[in-house]
Amino acid sequence: MPVAVNSIKFGTDGWRGVIADEFTFERLALVAPVAAQVLLNTYGEQVGNRKIIVGYDRRFMAEEFASKVAEVVSAAGFDILLSETYAPTPAFSWAAKQQNALGALVITASHNPGKYSGLKVKSAFGGSVPPEVTKEIERLLTKEVPPAETPGKIEHFNPWHSYCTELASKVNIAKIQDSIACGKLTVFVDAMHGAASGGLGKILGAGVREINSDRDPTFEGGAPEPLPKYLSRLFQTMNEHRQQQATGLVVGLVFDGDCDRIAAVDGEVNFLSSQILIPILIDHLTKRRKFAGEIVKTVSGSDLIPRVAALNNLLIFETPVGYKYIADRMLEAQVLLGGEESGGIGYGNHIPERDALLSALYVLEAVVESGLDLRDYYRQLQSQTDFNSAYDRIDLPLASMEVRERLLKQLQTQPLTQIAGKSVIDCQTIDGYKLRLEDKSWLMIRFSGTEPVLRLYCEAPTLEQVHQTLAWAKEWAE
């Protein structure tokens, strides 16, 4: 019975599906050689070889899925560097560039719940492939890649060594280590049972206090997503530390399942999304590291980001949601930092890829060199830019794709002019509908492309106003 390929769709960063339902060995064996062939067609002339990196995270049967990828792609005539252990997705992106490979095929479902697995396709330049590449993979899925007369070699490698050396070269590691050693800085890490486990310790050495570092493919029944609802143990651990020891700077760092997204917790045990971290990183890298270049943000990013950029005489470039759009810009222009609201942040001095471990190191460097708690650093930026805001986002399941289409048509034919009693003064449609209101707040309405889910984003002067606007939007949608 032929494998159904029409339901294999690549989203903003890869193909994902429920294990043993949409994501199976049979379907993976169909997709992987096609992806390798498209990487060859796209980057073969540039790199001059047929080498593919194959990596994986810590999900259920991740090693077995990766071995299947290596097997079928080598049978198609490609040389394989297969990871001997789990590692962050950015480590495999780095390996693709460092090894001058065609790209990387990574078994991961990122921040999705444990029943999911997936395949991310990374480019020769060390970032997500552009949309035209994934579209070409989808187009060619009906055409079987024939086995090669001479199969490729399969060799194994440890992805951590080169990756950690590269990250350590970009940050003042000694200063961070000294601050930890003398008790000026305490670092907590929530690895969320994912591929970040042990990573920061490999770079900084002893002193990093890591929780949830064991492998749990169920992710305790939740999801390895850096959101407050999944971080109760980290909050409890940091609160206990705060009660026992009130001196010194304290930072909590949170990584998603494949370690390409980050969040943080400050010394007062407040959750900090990348909407807060990005402005801090821009300021630190500009003022103390003297970095220059454009700031790339997605349309869902905080209004504080352009204000901090202007404070440091930096230009802003805005993209649709999805890090591959940021990566595209990083290949075209001199970029200091590119970031998205969901936690993905990358840097122009590295690969055009979001990298949570590098972001964590820069966050720690910013804290050590400024002497400020993250919350105080953020307040200082708000004061300097005369801009105070709160932010939140909700993902709203819809009854069906038909409901999704009805709401989309309503937005197109009956534009919203009032939201929660406030007039709409502008509507931006670079990705979904971003509606600016008279009180300087905004609501963004964006539909998932593959499932009946409505994503609602809001930034407003107070958290109360944010929740009021999101409640209004939820009521409108329902």
Q: What domains can be seen in the chain, in order of their start residue?
A: 15-163 (3.40.120.10), 180-385 (3.40.120.10), 390-477 (3.30.310.50)
Contact residues for 94 (Cβ-Cβ < 8 A; gap 6+): 126, 159, 162, 163, 166, 350, 351, 353
**Over residues 223-232, mean pLDDT:** 95
Is residue 237's pLDDT more than 50?
Answer: yes
Is residue 246's pLDDT more than 80?
Answer: no
In whole angstroms, give the CA distance from residue 281 to residue 363. 7
Is residue 142's pLDDT more than 80?
Answer: yes
Q: How do residues 330-347 score in pLDDT, each as one tens digit?
A: 999 999 999 999 899 999
* Neighbour-count burial for 175-210, b at 16+ CB within 10 Å, e otherwise: ebbebbeeeebbbbbbbbbbbbbbbbbebbeebbeb
pLDDT of residue 450: 65
**Over residues 167-174, mean pLDDT:** 97
Give which of 79, 71, 88, 81 is closest to 28, Cα–Cα.
71
Is residue 166's pLDDT more than 60?
Answer: yes
H-helix or E-strand spanning residue 251:
strand 249-255
Is residue 451's pLDDT more than 60?
Answer: yes
In whole angstroms, give the CA distance from residue 311 to residue 309. 5
pLDDT band of residue 322 (cuts 50, 70, 90) is confident
Residue pair 122/128 in contact by the 8 Å Cβ criterion: yes
Q: How do residues 87-114 score in pLDDT, each as one tens digit?
A: 999 999 999 999 999 999 999 999 999 9
* Neighbour-count burial for 21-35, b at 16+ CB within 10 Å, e otherwise: ebbbeebbbbbbbbb
pLDDT band of residue 13 (cuts 50, 70, 90) is confident
pLDDT of residue 4: 65
**Two tokens at 367?**
């804290």
Starting from the edge strand earliest in sequence, which strands make up the sheet with 335-339, in order?
316-319, 294-298, 335-339, 345-347
Residue pair 233/32 in contact by the 8 Å Cβ criterion: no
pLDDT band of residue 301 (cuts 50, 70, 90) is very high
In whole angstroms, give the CA distance from residue 337 to residue 344. 11
**Over residues 295-308, mean pLDDT:** 97
**Over residues 189-193, mean pLDDT:** 98
What secondary structure does DSSP assign to 303-322, as a single string?
THHHHHHHHTT--EEEE-SS
| DSSP conformation class of 26 | H
pLDDT of residue 3: 60
H-helix or E-strand spanning residue 465:
helix 463-477
What secondary structure does DSSP assign to 318-346, as a single string?
EE-SSHHHHHHHHHHS-EEEEE-TTS-EE
What secondary structure does DSSP assign to 169-186, as a single string?
TTS-HHHHHHHHHTTSEE
Tokens 């300097």 appear where?
384
Residue pair 148/77 in contact by the 8 Å Cβ criterion: yes
Q: Which amino acid is at 443?
A: L
pLDDT of residue 49: 97
Among residues of the chain, what percentage have pLDDT more than 90?
90
The gap from C-alpha 468 to its chain's centroid, in whole angstroms, comes to 28
What is this structure's pTM? 0.94
pLDDT band of residue 1 (cuts 50, 70, 90) is very low
Contact residues for 212 (Cβ-Cβ < 8 A; gap 6+): 190, 191, 192, 193, 233, 234
Starting from the edge strand earliest in sequence, which strands make up the sheet with 453-460, in order?
390-397, 453-460, 442-447, 433-437, 422-428, 418-419
**Two tokens at 221?**
């029944």
**Over residues 301-310, mean pLDDT:** 97
pLDDT, the chain, mean: 95
**Two tokens at 274?**
């990348």
Task: With H, G, I as helix, E, B as strand and everything else as coil, classify residue 30.
Answer: helix
